[in-house]
Amino acid sequence: MPERTRVTSATSPNAPSKPPCSTRSADLAFDVGESVSLPRAEIDALVALIERLGARSSVSTVHAHAVPGPWDKAEGVARALGDVLDLDLSSELERWVFVGDSGNDAAAFERFPKSVGVANVREHLDRLPVQPRYVTDGDRGRGFAQLAAHLADGRG
């Protein structure tokens, strides 16, 4: 990411960037809720800075992401299904359920007709251009387990 140095040096020490790793190759993540807990105003200021420097942004439960290109979770899921399972998601979109928990899931909530947010997505709903069609009562893993039980019971 060409702007990495500028974005990193311009941010508050309260939102340290995460070190690069093999699973993070398309964005720069800033810790906003993993080992620190930033107030919403500081997260909003970081997002504004990321966008002012020309990157796209998204915020998850634990990270603010600076994304230098047209990538999002919806495209990532479609690509992974094609690469790994040789599936064309667009031809069978109705068969799939997307489950997410935060702002960085917005594109997938929009793309998947069957989208579910686990309960902790509620703190992000006012920022989502398209909300999940269903929100579980349980948060995090409990919400996912609630959805899995619902689907296993044949109600989904």
Annotated domain spans of the chain: 4-67, 73-152
User: Bridge-partner residues for 21, per DSSP?
Assistant: 24
CATH architecture group of domain 73-152: 3-Layer(aba) Sandwich (3.40)
Per-residue pLDDT of the chain (156 residues), as tens digits, is: 444 445 554 555 566 665 555 555 677 899 998 898 999 999 999 999 999 999 999 888 899 999 888 888 999 999 999 999 999 999 999 999 999 999 899 999 999 999 999 999 998 999 899 999 999 999 999 999 999 999 998 765
Give the pairing type, strands 115-117 and 98-100.
parallel
